[in-house]
């Protein structure tokens, strides 16, 4: 296949910008594609084929609605410039701050005119529908006619910024229209600056800026999910309830499809050669060079032969190709005569059952889950895929939430053990201190954690997990070098395979989250912000060997508040709703809460400071003394976003 610039289509401009920031000359890039014909091409370290194919359907835009006092002959005319300037300032802010998952700046669409009545509101809605707007933000410096100018689309996240100025009552319109939204059952976010601004001030105050960006980031996550699929590769793993994929949850709360394939599809594709053989050879060579095989911890009588281990490497590489192709398709398959398989399942997130129906006979899924969840592979640096181990769809959902809010890879882990300070000191003689002083959680699973989770990427000289367009080739290599691939524990995985083994560097701000499904309530979200922790090597080894040292470990210290579930680190462990959690880089609890409120998912526990929490204004009408209880009542009252 000759990959030409027109294949990249609308994504070309964004890719050129990313490459230019990496010091790549755009003319050299274009000459490269005029003469090279191949698949899975890397340029400047970026996998440009993934960039072109994976996001070819584009992304939702943010619609900016400038509303205005409709009275002509003096009032409206005096406000036109100020109102439109507000809209343009917000559009500039968002496009300069937020990025889509492929690294491109977020696109904003502004109504053709200010909206002073229902006819202009309808014209704006028509424009937004044709432009693919998925998030709506209304801005105004003045009084407007509430129900005549409001956005009435029930499925689009919406917010209103009412300018805090004394010349015209923007705050009065804000209160009136938010009242209308509550009355009509269309929750909207209210944005109102704390400080009074002058009428001619076109700046966006910092407190307003934070709320606009937080709302837009969460709203875009909601809009990007809509219409995509969760791909269930297999069924229920070892009786884990999260792998009972709930169609109603995905459809009504996330606006997503659920797709299913049996794991025998992997066997069919391997046996019938339904994968790119050229990519397979390239991938296998890359694996041999970059994926160091660690020591075999199995007892001698259970260790597999070198021939069998080499064969397992071939199998797990093929599994990686196949899982990716099942999720998003692969144009190369059509060239090989497999047009149906080339389409994929339009999946933005997936899960692989593995245990035990697969792993009792075939190599485990640890390699393909870890590599797909990472921001790089044999084809270069690219946006991570989201794959939940053990087909835990509920953990897959929060992995997706974290990914869409940060554009970074996610760590899937068991919330395995709470180590109290006394227990650590008793077993190792070491006294925990600093962020770990109250105890630590051992986050560890057999291998689905993204290799980004090593912390070998850098941000301001500190360990980090970054969006793919900020990751250098050297940083990707350091993540690979910090990871060894241990022959799978045969007592767990009779079919063999390889598990990633690494230790997350300490000092990274992190957020652990989990979605639980409760009969009679529906989905409920849990959030715990904290930090990764370094332990002395001998202390880590002693604690790690008590479980399975062939798996990746993150030592996590949640931030305690002295209240509720966060009274202590033990309280976090004791109140966690399931055996799994998703770990994101950064303290994103506030964004998760905003996202959850848009979807009408209540949050049962979190340690986010009250001043950072941002929900629709109507939530305050369900009580202000106990925000957590009000959240449950509001979500129950308004119901799922897409029901």
Contacts of 74 (CB under 8 A, 6+ apart): none
Q: Model confidence over 397-416: pLDDT tens digits?
A: 999 999 999 999 999 999 99
User: What is the average pLDDT value for the chain, to the nearest integer?
Assistant: 93
Tokens coding 414: 């068991």
Which pLDDT belongs to residue 172? Answer: 92
Which pLDDT belongs to residue 49? Answer: 66
Between CA 102 and CA 90 the distance in angstroms is 22
Q: Place 34 in a pLDDT band, splitting at 50, 70 and 90.
A: very low
Mean pLDDT of 486-503: 96
Domains of the chain (ranges; CATH) run 14-55 (no CATH), 61-225 (3.40.50.1070), 229-638 (3.20.14.10)
- pLDDT above 70: percentage of residues in the chain: 93
> Rg of the Cα trace of the chain?
25
- Tell me if the bond preceding 213 is cis, omega within 30° of 0: no
Which pLDDT belongs to residue 165? Answer: 87
Q: Are 394 and 343 a contacting pair, CB within 8 Å?
A: no
User: Would you say 206 is a known binding-site residue?
Assistant: no
Between CA 210 and CA 410 the distance in angstroms is 24
Between CA 608 and CA 513 the distance in angstroms is 12
User: Would you say 390 is a known binding-site residue?
Assistant: yes
Between CA 467 and CA 461 the distance in angstroms is 16
Q: Is 539 helix (H, G, I), strand (E, B) or coil?
A: helix
Q: Which residue has 């296949």 as its token pair?
A: 1
Between CA 322 and CA 279 the distance in angstroms is 11
Tokens coding 631: 């959240």
Between CA 390 and CA 234 the distance in angstroms is 9
Tokens coding 136: 């709506």
Which pLDDT belongs to residue 35? Answer: 39
- In angstroms, the Cα distances linking 427 to 419, 443, 457, 557, 571 are 10, 18, 32, 19, 22
Q: Model confidence over 80-91: pLDDT tens digits?
A: 999 999 999 999
| Pick from 105-109, 197-201, 607-611: least confident | 197-201
**548 included as an active-site residue:** no
User: Would you say 430 is a known binding-site residue?
Assistant: no
**pLDDT surpasses 50 at 164:** yes
Q: Are 533 and 436 a contacting pair, CB within 8 Å?
A: yes
Mean pLDDT of 11-17: 57
Between CA 67 and CA 51 the distance in angstroms is 37
Phi, psi of 444 (to 5 degrees): -160, 135
Nearest to 163 by CA among 117, 212, 219: 212
**pLDDT surpasses 50 at 2:** no
Q: Place 170 in a pLDDT band, splitting at 50, 70 and 90.
A: confident
Which pLDDT belongs to residue 158? Answer: 98
Which pLDDT belongs to residue 41? Answer: 59
Nearest to 219 by CA among 135, 331, 306: 135
Which pLDDT belongs to residue 20? Answer: 64
Q: Place 388 in a pLDDT band, splitting at 50, 70 and 90.
A: very high
**pLDDT surpasses 50 at 307:** yes
Q: Are 314 and 284 a contacting pair, CB within 8 Å?
A: yes
Q: Model confidence over 217-265: pLDDT tens digits?
A: 999 999 999 999 999 999 999 999 999 999 999 999 999 999 999 999 9
Q: Which residue has 């303290």 as its token pair?
A: 587
Between CA 3 and CA 34 the distance in angstroms is 8
Q: Are 454 and 482 a contacting pair, CB within 8 Å?
A: yes
CA angle 508-514-516, nearest 5°? 175
Q: Model confidence over 349-375: pLDDT tens digits?
A: 999 999 999 999 999 999 999 999 999
Pick the catalytic residue from 312, 341, 390, 591: 390
Which pLDDT belongs to residue 10? Answer: 44
Which pLDDT belongs to residue 33? Answer: 47
Which pLDDT belongs to residue 276? Answer: 97
Tokens coding 170: 């923007």
Pick the catalytic residue from 104, 414, 470, 544: 414
Tokens coding 148: 């005549």
**628 included as an active-site residue:** no
Higher-pLDDT residue of 104, 13 = 104
């Amino acid at each position: 296949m000759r990959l030409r610039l027109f294949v990249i289509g609308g994504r070309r401009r964004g890719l050129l910008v990313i490459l230019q920031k990496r010091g790549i000359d755009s003319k050299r890039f274009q000459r490269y594609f005029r003469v090279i014909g191949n698949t899975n091409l890397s340029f400047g370290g970026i996998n440009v084929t993934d960039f072109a194919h994976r996001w070819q359907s584009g992304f939702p835009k943010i619609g900016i609605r400038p509303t205005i006092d409709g009275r002509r002959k003096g009032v409206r005319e005096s406000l036109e410039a100020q109102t439109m300037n507000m809209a343009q300032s917000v559009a500039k802010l968002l496009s300069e701050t937020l990025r889509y998952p492929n690294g491109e700046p977020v696109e904003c669409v502004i109504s053709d005119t200010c909206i002073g009545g229902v006819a202009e509101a309808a014209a704006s809605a028509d424009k937004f529908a044709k432009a693919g707007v998925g998030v709506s933000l209304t801005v105004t410096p003045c009084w407007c006619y509430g129900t005549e100018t409001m956005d009435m689309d029930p499925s689009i996240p919406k917010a209103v910024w009412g300018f805090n100025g004394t010349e015209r009552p923007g705050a009065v319109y804000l209160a009136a229209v938010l009242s209308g939204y509550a009355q009509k059952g269309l929750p909207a976010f209210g944005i109102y600056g704390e400080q009074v601004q002058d009428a001619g001030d076109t700046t966006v105050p910092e407190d307003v800026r934070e709320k606009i960006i937080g709302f837009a980031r969460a709203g875009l996550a909601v809009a990007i999910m809509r219409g995509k699929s969760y791909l269930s590769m297999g069924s229920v793993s070892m009786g884990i309830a999260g792998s009972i994929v709930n169609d109603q949850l995905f459809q009504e709360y996330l606006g997503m499809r659920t797709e299913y394939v049996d794991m025998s599809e992997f066997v069919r594709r391997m046996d019938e050669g339904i994968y790119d053989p050229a990519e397979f050879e390239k991938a296998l060579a890359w694996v041999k060079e970059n994926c160091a095989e660690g020591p075999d911890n199995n007892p001698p009588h259970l260790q597999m032969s070198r021939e069998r281990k080499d064969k397992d490497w071939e199998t797990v590489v093929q599994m990686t190709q196949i899982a990716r192709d099942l999720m998003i398709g692969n144009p190369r398959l059509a060239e090989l005569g497999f047009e149906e398989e080339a389409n994929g399942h339009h999946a933005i997130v997936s899960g692989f059952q593995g245990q035990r129906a697969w792993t009792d006979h075939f190599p485990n899924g640890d390699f393909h889950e870890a590599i797909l969840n990472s921001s790089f592979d044999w084809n270069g640096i690219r946006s991570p895929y989201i794959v939940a181990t053990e087909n835990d769809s509920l953990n897959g959902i929060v992995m997706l939430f974290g990914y869409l809010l940060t554009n970074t890879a996610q760590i899937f882990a068991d919330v395995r053990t709470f180590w109290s300070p006394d227990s650590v000191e008793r077993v190792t003689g070491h006294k925990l201190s600093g962020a770990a002083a109250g105890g630590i959680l051992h986050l560890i699973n057999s291998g689905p954690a993204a290799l980004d989770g090593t912390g070998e990427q850098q941000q301001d000289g500190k360990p980090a997990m970054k969006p793919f367009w900020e990751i250098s080739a050297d940083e990707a290599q350091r993540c690979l070098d910090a990871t060894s691939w241990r022959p799978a524990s045969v007592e767990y995985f009779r079919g063999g395979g390889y598990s990633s083994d690494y230790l997350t560097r300490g000092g990274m701000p992190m957020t652990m989250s989990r979605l639980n499904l409760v009969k009679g309530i529906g989905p409920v979200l849990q959030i715990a912000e904290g930090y990764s922790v370094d332990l002395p090597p001998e202390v880590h080894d002693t604690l790690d060997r008590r479980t399975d040292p062939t798996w990746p470990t993150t030592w996590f210290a949640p931030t305690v508040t002295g209240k509720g579930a966060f009274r202590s680190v033990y309280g976090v462990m004791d109140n966690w709703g399931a055996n799994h959690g998703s770990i994101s880089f950064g303290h994103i609890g506030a964004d998760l809460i905003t996202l959850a409120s848009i979807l009408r998912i209540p949050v049962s526990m979190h340690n986010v400071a009250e001043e950072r929490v941002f929900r629709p204004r109507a939530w305050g009408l369900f009580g202000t003394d106990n925000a957590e209880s009000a959240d449950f009542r509001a979500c129950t009252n308004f119901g799922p976003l897409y029901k």
